[in-house]
Structure 1
Amino acid sequence: MSMKLIVDSGSDLPQNILEEYDIDLVSLTVHLDGQDYYDRDTISSQDVYNAMRSGSAPKTAQVTPDAFYERFKTYTDEGRPVIYLAFSSELSGTFQSAMIAKQQIDDQNPDAEIYVIDTRAASMGHGLIAYYTAKAIADGQSVQDVLDTAHYYVNHIVHIFTVDDLEYLQRGGRVSKAQAFVGGMLKIKPLLHVEDGKLVPLEKIRGAKKVIGRMADVVQERGQHFHDQTIAITHGDDEKRAQELANQIRDKYQPKEIIIYPIGSAIGAHAGPGTIALFFLDDAPKS
């Protein structure tokens, strides 16, 4: 039986890619105004951003072990190898939930093949890893070759992002209250990246207009082989600036493909509206 690839909603994978490659998606939970919702299922990112602009403070919860158990078992009962690519374990407990479920099934069925990989990535950083992995499965590669492909992209994905309002990162403990206040007063826009699965400040830039140009410049500094690459841009309800960034990247580097997609509820609840995120490889795609 063919391998089954599973991701969680922290990947922000476009729906057309999920459908084209038959990728299964499990949803993180969003707590908003006293109600629980499932990301991309019973709540949209637009709902979350509208609520945040009105003063609400949504929170998120990891996928439960029980949810993973049921999803994994659906495929292992058919004798299919399962590969789950997880939202960074430094940002969510979802990876650990999957490991608990894997152990339960392993104890019951030692022949089950479940491979859980911590992508150490978020949004379409995570999503690009899944996209390339899905292509490897579609190409008919062996389980080991597919796993090698996934690990290659885990080690070569670059995240660069900025937020419109530091208050949202402050709520999540990413910056101090004082930094958020001062940054807002001075119109400072943080440029951040992901290092070993964690959000890490990279630069401070004064003025929103300069941020997009600086993000495009970082592509040259950190990436290469753009003609062979798929570059992804995600946004928190700000498609105009996402397109502006895409146009600059297209003009400067002529990448093979640029994917633009909204940031989902799970990540948007922490990053806030106005977030712009950019994802690419620091090396050539795996041949």
Structure 2
Amino acid sequence: MNVKILADSACDLSEQYYNEFDIEMVSLTVQLNEKEYKDGKEISPKTIYDAMRQGKSPKTSQVSPQSFKTIFTSYTEANQPLIYFAFSSELSGTYQAAKMIEQEIKEENPDAPIHVIDTKCASIGYGLVVLRAAQLAKNGASTEEILATGEYVAAHMEHIFTVDDLEYLYRGGRVSKTAAFVGSLLKIKPILHVDDGKLIPLEKIRGSKKLLGRIIEIMEKRGTDLENQVIGISHGDDLERAEKLADMIKQKFNPKDVIIEMVGSVIGAHSGPGTIALFFLNENDK
């Protein structure tokens, strides 16, 4: 019996990957205009970005413990091995909810074949971890092999991203009001990364012309064995710039593949339209 991989919607993978690799997905929730929607199932990221451009502020909430209880119980009863690779615990309470239910089930059934892993990753960086695990699972790898590989890839997944407007990160409590105001006034574009699951500013670039070139320089410095990697790019409804970045990467590093996806509704509700995020493996342990 092959190991089943569970992901949540913050991995920003499109449906084709869930189908191809038989990945189960559980949705976080997005609230817009006082209605709740299941991320990745009931609302498109484009709808969220258009609403934000009109000044609306969507809210998000984690996966409920009850959702995990239903899923984990069904796999335990079937004695089907399940590994849930979770969205960063520093950015959502979803991992903690899943861990709580895992512990609850294992109190009654210590041999329940359920594993919950905090990837400390987000968006397609998290999606690349899930894809690697799902490829192994499809090929019949053991639980131990999938856990070891998934944890390694998660620990080495570099996130480099920029946002078009710091106002959205301010609304989500990620930067101060002063930083957001000064950034907008001076047309400063921040470059951020994720360190141990948390958003950390790396540097600031004046204007957007130098931005992609600088991101490539950071990639060259931090990446390892880039020509043998699958690179991930996600964007906040800015496919043109995402494709431009992909072309620059292909010309410079000639990687195995570049996956481009839109930043999903949950993460996009905090990062805003115009976000560009790049994901690749580094050689540093987090």
**Under a length normalisation based on structure 1, what TM-score does the superposition of the two structures give?**
0.97
* Residue 179 of structure 1: how far off its partner (Å): 0.8
Name the amino acid aligned to 1:244.
K
Unmatched runs of 5 consecutive residues or more in structure 2: none
* Residue 75 of structure 1: how far off its partner (Å): 1.9
Name the amino acid aligned to 1:200.
I
* Residue 60 of structure 1: how far off its partner (Å): 0.5
- Identity %, equivalent residues: 53
2: CA distance between counterparts of 1:2 and 1:252? 38
Superposition RMSD on alpha carbons, in Å?
Answer: 1.2
* Residue 16 of structure 1: how far off its partner (Å): 1.5
Name the amino acid aligned to 1:226.
L
Residue matched to 1:14: 14
In 2, are the aligned partners of 1:233 and 1:278 still within 8 Å (CA)? yes
2: CA distance between counterparts of 1:123 and 1:230? 15
1: CA distance between counterparts of 2:64 and 2:204? 37
Residue matched to 1:279: 279
Q: 1:263 aligned to 2:258?
A: no
1: CA distance between counterparts of 2:14 and 2:206? 32
Query: What is the aligned length?
Result: 284
* Residue 79 of structure 1: how far off its partner (Å): 1.0
* Residue 237 of structure 1: how far off its partner (Å): 0.2
Unmatched runs of 5 consecutive residues or more in structure 1: none
Residue matched to 1:41: 41
After TM superposition, the structure 1 stretch with the greater mean CA deviation from structure 2, 76-85 or 104-113, is 104-113
Which consecutive segments of 4 or more residues in structure 1 shift more than 3 A? Answer: none
Residue matched to 2:56: 56
In 1, are the aligned partners of 2:86 and 2:119 still within 8 Å (CA)? yes
Residue matched to 1:173: 173
1: CA distance between counterparts of 2:14 and 2:282? 22
**What do the CA deviations read for 1:86-136 (whole angstroms, capped 9, x no partner)?**
000000000011012112221332221111000001001111111111112
In 1, are the aligned partners of 2:137 and 2:146 still within 8 Å (CA)? yes
1: CA distance between counterparts of 2:281 and 2:16? 22
Residue matched to 1:148: 148
2: CA distance between counterparts of 1:14 and 1:280? 19
Residue matched to 1:189: 189
* Residue 271 of structure 1: how far off its partner (Å): 0.2
**Under a length normalisation based on structure 2, what TM-score does the superposition of the two structures give?**
0.97
In 2, are the aligned partners of 1:123 and 1:234 still within 8 Å (CA)? yes
